[in-house]
Structure 1
């Protein structure tokens, strides 16, 4: 594909991703599923298609997506639920790869155990992007979000390590169970160590760059690529290095970064996610022609059996494993978090089971299979493995993606908005009280350069804010519903603040248009108003 075609595809991707995002926000449909279907439709039209290059995906697309997801995750929440996250991201991935491998070895002519494990490893790790995008809009409880997020961050490292071992066995390098376990442990430990090293290097850089948001943002964008490349050069898990670095950096960002830096970095990463996810899901759909062309040498029965084994194990093993964890002895059963019940409810098991959407990682992984083995023979059933992976991605991404939100609503499983709003307002009140105490201490120190009325003015503003939070807390504590109550006075105050900000902007524009204010001056003053507007909640009823 020439440069002009790639450029056209990029422009079309941005346009289509924008339109799909607009449609998804208004219809509640998952953008990932819509983009994948559009990619399939595009692939059926005459004209060139872009073939997925696994090296580009694994090097340039996967690291920033994983790092951004890790930045938005909670290291503390994942640590509290670590046993469950590990059971899903390590044990379940291993079982999925092994069962699919056995199914191929027993029932698919021409396929070996190693080849079956390779496709099993490729389809084992769920991609949480689509599930979380829909789940957050549907209001999933924080515990379920944490489990899906933690699993999605850690399972790729497990799957890619298993895939490399399976490919080595299939291409004639031999297979040894102790060697495979050792390789996995070294890759995981080494990747984690590299992630910690990179994270603390970023922390050292954050102090001198705290006053320059632009440079801090440049370091943030470079971090996932640095972590991935360093780990890969050391022959350990680059994926795990990126995830660990993102979790640590995200945990320390509130202290290490300035307010301006956090706002800018957050905005940039949201844009990166939007563009990369749009490109990735369109690219998934475009692989249909190449995948189908490779099936010419297989009879229909073989294709159906292979696809049935792969899809069946992926869809059935996950809920069975989640149910099994409920029957484990108390010592082995996952401990979710302090103060929460140890057992998942039936509704939570159903939702977690249906959150196992597969994505571009599965396709990128399976496309890394070599065409020939070390002996010069063709890789066993390679084209069939590509097709099975594509079917799993399509079934889960489109089938589960389109039905996930309706399922969550049907089960009535959603976050307690009232409880979350109450907790946020309690934290706000505590922060204001801490500021008032600090002002009292500052006043007692009798600074000559601080006049008393300055502190008095700030104290009045903080007390007015504290009174608003207390009034809101009374309303939240008296509410028996799980939905946060709507306060007419609160919404009216937000409306008045928005109207005042709009009036200020219009007046600044009139000054600019009349030649009384330069464009540079307008941008400075408008940025001040933008920061004030950024404080206004998007959904006032839930704040």
Structure 2
């Protein structure tokens, strides 16, 4: 039994890889193909039916995905557009939950308001992975990318909070607003405290105790699970614990990570994130026929009608709310108009349309318990799951396929006078190369006169480009020469000089933090190559 289940999971992972390659060939977002592929597999006669224990959905999938999102958040950009991010992350989630709750009660017989809020909390948060995957290959202003990524970090916590309280109300049969508000503050604050406390402990261990750099990446993998489990054990917010702890460890990563651990962690998390996200997306397609077969009391036609109507409400409401959040504050507060360039009508339309649902919605839906505390079956569980699956399918496929076409149609352009990323990269490289040349002239003047090889190091920084063949020839000569060790020593010192310049740019905030991370990754790769020469 165990062997067959493991084999099935491995086959799904292999199928995910095949669909990912196909998505690159077809230039279609891979979550879309994974969902469609899973649906097609489930329709094959004799295909195995996969059922997951609802209790492990949150534990297995959510902590690492939330941690990864927090780890790669750009603090500078997040703070710059925090108003729009928080309005979208909290305001839109609560408005969507409220609208879905009352609308579902109005159209679905015997559907209670608590069930409506539960459904609203499940389908309210857009998925950042789906949006960023769809947006690859198209040009989107920096403001739009930052809002979409920052929103996903905030709306997960907001939607899961709505989900948690609605679920508690259904199970217990009672809901007191004052008690819920007090409990919300406690679980939110204590969740953040737990996350930061555990993050500080891990930070101290990694920086002052751990001697082997190979332990850093495994620690980042287990950290989200520790934060989540500890917080949930005390019935506090595990989501906020993971997000707050991930943000802290990411912010202080330069204190305990070297070039090797940065490269290793980046690659490992890219793999883990792809596997977890991919498995969830393909699970959406696999589970849909299973859920449809268990719709007791509802026909397929009725269920699809409910799901499509709710999908339309979710899509239209998001577009309207994005426009309101973009222009109402500008109308009420003159200083915002003076400080921020108007987004126009194009960017809100694109951001509003980029509301694909995904991992968090699916994990929340599958985490609904099978029965109440009394032992009775959870009311309308399969209908809620079916509606969730259809909303994810509609937003992923319909909006996901049309979003690149919409961006090209409106001819969206940068409106914040941001310096182009390529220009920023070249500016940083130019400044760091000048620092490296100045360092060589002050520390290795005699060596450059004595050794031609060392002099060529300076030439490499003076020229903006060197052919790959020449570089390979030079490296071969260095390996054969007697000054190999000196060459490596000089090159490593120059990398440190450039790192110092990079830290200066980071502290002065002259350039985007994403660009600085990209340059830092290039320096890590260069240092790794030199250490293996």
TM-score exceeds 0.5: yes
Alignment partners' CA distance in 1, 2:333 and 2:306: 34
Alignment partners' CA distance in 2, 1:422 and 1:339: 24
Map residues 154-169 of structure 1 onto 2, 5 A cutoff.
Answer: 154-169=154-169
Q: Provide the residue aligned with 2:367 in structure 1.
A: 368
Q: Provide the residue aligned with 2:290 in structure 1.
A: 290
Q: Does 1:54 align with 2:68?
A: no
Residues 53/375 of structure 1: CA separation in 2 closer, same or farther (3 Å cut): closer
Q: Does 1:266 align with 2:266?
A: yes
Q: Does 1:467 align with 2:440?
A: no
Residues 23/147 of structure 1: CA separation in 2 closer, same or farther (3 Å cut): same
Q: Provide the residue aligned with 1:428 in structure 2.
A: 429
Alignment partners' CA distance in 1, 2:186 and 2:174: 19
Alignment partners' CA distance in 2, 1:297 and 1:289: 16
Residues 373/19 of structure 1: CA separation in 2 closer, same or farther (3 Å cut): closer
More deviation, 112-121/11-20 = 11-20
Map residues 84-483 of structure 1 onto 2, 5 A cutoff.
Answer: 84-208=84-208, 212-299=212-299, 302-330=302-330, 340-341=340-341, 343-375=342-374, 377-413=376-412, 419-436=420-437, 443=443, 452-453=446-447, 463-468=458-463
Deviation at 1:278, TM superposition (A): 2.2
Q: Provide the residue aligned with 1:40 in structure 2.
A: 39
Alignment partners' CA distance in 1, 2:470 and 2:273: 31
Q: Deviations over 1:195-254 (max 9, x none)?
A: 322333332223246763211112121111122112212322212222222222222223
Map residues 491-506 of structure 1 onto 2, 5 A cutoff.
Answer: 493-496=466-469, 500=473
Is contact 1:108–1:305 with CA below 8 Å preserved after alignment?
Answer: no
Is contact 1:101–1:117 with CA below 8 Å preserved after alignment?
Answer: yes
Alignment partners' CA distance in 2, 1:353 and 1:100: 17
Is contact 2:62–2:363 with CA below 8 Å preserved after alignment?
Answer: no
Deviation at 1:29, TM superposition (A): 0.6
Residues 370/277 of structure 1: CA separation in 2 closer, same or farther (3 Å cut): closer
Alignment partners' CA distance in 1, 2:120 and 2:248: 31
Is contact 1:439–1:455 with CA below 8 Å preserved after alignment?
Answer: no
Alignment partners' CA distance in 1, 2:337 and 2:80: 5
Q: Provide the residue aligned with 1:476 in structure 2.
A: none
Is contact 2:117–2:166 with CA below 8 Å preserved after alignment?
Answer: yes
**Secondary structure of 2:354's partner?**
coil
Q: Deviations over 1:505-542 (max 9, x none)?
A: xx99xxxxxxxxxxxxxxxxxxxxxx999559xxxxxx
**Secondary structure of 2:252's partner?**
helix
More deviation, 325-334/151-160 = 325-334
Alignment partners' CA distance in 2, 1:326 and 1:417: 19
Alignment partners' CA distance in 1, 2:42 and 2:368: 23
Deviation at 1:406, TM superposition (A): 2.7
| Structure 1 residue ranges without an equivalent (≥5) | 444-449, 470-489, 509-530, 537-543
Residues 456/166 of structure 1: CA separation in 2 closer, same or farther (3 Å cut): farther
Is contact 1:20–1:35 with CA below 8 Å preserved after alignment?
Answer: yes
**Secondary structure of 2:73's partner?**
coil
Alignment partners' CA distance in 1, 2:369 and 2:197: 33
Q: Provide the residue aligned with 2:10 in structure 1.
A: 11
**Secondary structure of 1:207's partner?**
helix
Deviation at 1:35, TM superposition (A): 0.8
Q: Deviations over 1:166-216 (max 9, x none)?
A: 122223441122222222222322222223223333322232467632111
| Structure 2 residue ranges without an equivalent (≥5) | 481-521, 528-533
Deviation at 1:88, TM superposition (A): 1.2
Is contact 2:165–2:180 with CA below 8 Å preserved after alignment?
Answer: yes
More deviation, 292-301/174-183 = 292-301
- Superposition RMSD in Å: 3.4
Q: Deviations over 1:387-438 (max 9, x none)?
A: 1111101111222222222322333336699721111222223333444555
- TM-score, with length taken from structure 1: 0.80
Deviation at 1:366, TM superposition (A): 1.8
Alignment partners' CA distance in 2, 1:82 and 1:56: 33
